[in-house]
Structure 1
Amino acid sequence: MESLARGGTRWKRFAVVMVPSVAATAAIGVALSQGALAASFSVSGQQFKVTAKKLDGKGFVQYGAIDVQRGGKEIPVAVSAFDSAEITNLCQSVVIPVPYFGDVSLKLSAGTKPGKPVEAKNLYIDLDQLNADATFKDINIGVAAGDTKHGPGIKEHDRADPGSFAQEADEAELKDVKQTAWATSAGTFKLSGLSMNVKKGKHECY
């Protein structure tokens, strides 16, 4: 009985910490699955993992930048940006350490049904590792970040030097994507076939 009481106490502490954020995330997720909304996915000071079977992007640009986290921590990232993108079999996961409870995983998947990919416009991904099979059309390597003609412009919250190295392409196709990122944001994001779950322990996309 004593161990059960301790378990109950831990669960209550977990609920106080996690329930408000999970409820808010679920509400946003339902709205996204039903239509296109501006959206972002980030967890302060933590990386998350992303996988996709395929990403077809139009208007691609990539440049270096510094993300500033809460508390002033600076993190160097490569920003991959697309005017528009269709993503098949998208998975995003983050593991959150909860005091007195242990690791808790939030995993989101979408675009798993044939002919119904995830759709995004003005998509930005702030990443520090990427593995994929990539094909680019009309690629331009070595252009200054401030002189790119493809893709959305440099984000205001990115500390990027307009004269620094960048690359761009008219189209980009990425297959078997695995990456770690600090933030994903889009002007509009439609998550067809959204599925989201929260579990104790580590349950990541890869």
Structure 2
Amino acid sequence: MSHRAGKTRWRRFAAVLVAGVAACTALGIAMGQGVLAASFLISGKKFQVTADTLTSRGLSIYGMVDVTRQGERVPVTVTGSRHTTISALCQSVLVEIPVLGEQTLKITGGREQPVEASNLFLDTTFQSAGQADFRGLNQGIAQGEITKGPINPGDRNSRFFDPDGFGQQATSVTLTDVRVTAVALSAGTFNIPGLRVQIEHGRHECF
């Protein structure tokens, strides 16, 4: 039984690693041209994202519920952006490996040139920033009336999406010293200059 469980964990780890190495996916999710629906079942594993600076044009913020393969419901805040630039990106996830113990898979990039993404959606359980500068901000707008930023098609068609729920939108926002804990990320395109992937023994998370 333990031997079989070990194989399963190794396969899961390999899947995470292969996904992370792919340059266009840097955050462990397969990206294509156009928006990837957020209706996929999440693993439930949380990962960390940090950035020195993040600028978004066409911002949307709304509540959703993601679902794991086991049927667990995870309430999240979805932050959508039509176009995003990120400086000094870091993403990390902890992975338990049989015999070797806890490992940190860390992905970095965008230090010399900024990361650029289109139709970016980040499903988060925690967000913070040292400074947030909004332009054209609307708070309290009904989620179904958000127009300045995108709504993921997979979310809009979900039974958990409340068109009358509390939403926010902005023409643009610039955030500094960004820290995020997330359970899912999807994007239409994700361009990461200076991509670096490394595995370290123990806990070496982004924050």
What is the TM-score when the length of structure 1 is the normalising length? 0.82
* 2:185 alignment partner in structure 1: 184
Partner residue, 1:63: 62
Show the counterpart of 2:18.
Answer: 24
Deviation by residue 1:148-203 (Cα, 9 ceiling, x = unmatched): 11111234155321110000000011110011111111000001110010122111
Report what 1:104 is aligned to. 103
Report Cα offsets for 1:24-73 as digits up to 9, x if no partner. 225512x558xxx5398x97121101100000110001000001112111
Q: Relative to 1, partners in 2 of residues 1:19 and 1:163: Cα closer, same or farther, differing over 3 Å?
A: closer
Matches within 5 A, 1:130-141: 130-132=127-129, 133-141=131-139
Q: Is the 8 A contact 1:38 1:189 kept in 2?
A: no
The residue number in structure 2 matching 1:85 is 84
Q: Distance in 2 between matches of 1:107 and 1:153?
A: 29
Structure 1, unpaired ranges of 5+: 1-8
| SS of equivalent to 2:187 | strand
Q: How does 1:159-198 map to 2 (within 5 A)?
A: 159-198=160-199
Contact 1:17 1:98 in 2 (8 A): no
Post-superposition, which runs of at least 4 consecutive aligned residues in structure 1 deviate over 3 A?
Answer: 12-20
The residue number in structure 2 matching 1:121 is: 118
State the 1:80 CA deviation. Answer: 0.5
Instruction: Identify the residue that residue 74 of structure 1 maps to in structure 2.
Output: 73
Distance 1:17 1:136, change over 3 A: same
- Inter-CA distance 26–149: structure 2 relative to 1 (3 Å threshold): closer
Shift of 1:18: 6.0
CA contact (8 A) 1:52 1:88 kept: yes
User: Whose radius of gyration is greater, 1 or 2?
Assistant: 1
Give me the whole-angstrom Cα distance separating, in 2, the residues matched to 1:13 and 1:173: 44
Percent identity, aligned pairs only, is: 35
State the Cα deviation string for residues 112-152 of structure 1 (Å, max 9, x = none): 11xx1000000000001111011110101100111011111
Give the structure 2 partner of residue 51 of structure 1.
50
Structure 2: unaligned runs, 5 residues or longer: none
* Structure with the largest fraction of helix: 1
Over aligned residues, Cα RMSD in angstroms?
Answer: 2.5
Deviates more, 1:116-125 or 1:16-25: 16-25
Partner Cα separation in structure 2 for residue 57 and residue 103 of structure 1 = 34
**In structure 2, how many angstroms separate the alpha carbons of the residues matched to 1:200 and 1:14?**
20
Alpha-carbon separation, structure 1, partners of 2:101 and 2:153: 35
